[in-house]
Amino acid sequence: MKAIDKAYQDLTKEAISILLKIKENLKDESDCIWTYYENATQMRQEIDKYILELEKSSLRLLDDTYMHFLPTAAYQEHSMANNWTIEYHKLAEKFDKIYEALKTYS
pLDDT of the residue at 1:
41
Residue 106's Cα: distance from chain center in Å? 18
Q: Can you list the alpha helix ranges (DSSP code H) found in 25-103?
A: 40-55, 62-67, 74-81, 85-103
Rounded to two decimals, the pTM is 0.92
| C-alpha distance from residue 20 to each of 24, 50, 51, 52, 105 (Å) | 6, 10, 8, 12, 22
pLDDT of the residue at 35:
87
All residues at 6 or more sequence positions from 17 whose CB lies less than 8 Å from its CB, including other chains: none
Residues 12/54, Cβ–Cβ less than 8 Å? yes
pLDDT of the residue at 33:
84
pLDDT of the residue at 63:
96
pLDDT of the residue at 89:
97
pLDDT of the residue at 3:
53
The count of other CB atoms within 10 Å of the CB of residue 104 is 10
Q: What is the mean pLDDT of each run of 10 residues along the chain (106 residues)?
A: 75 98 95 88 96 94 96 94 96 98 91
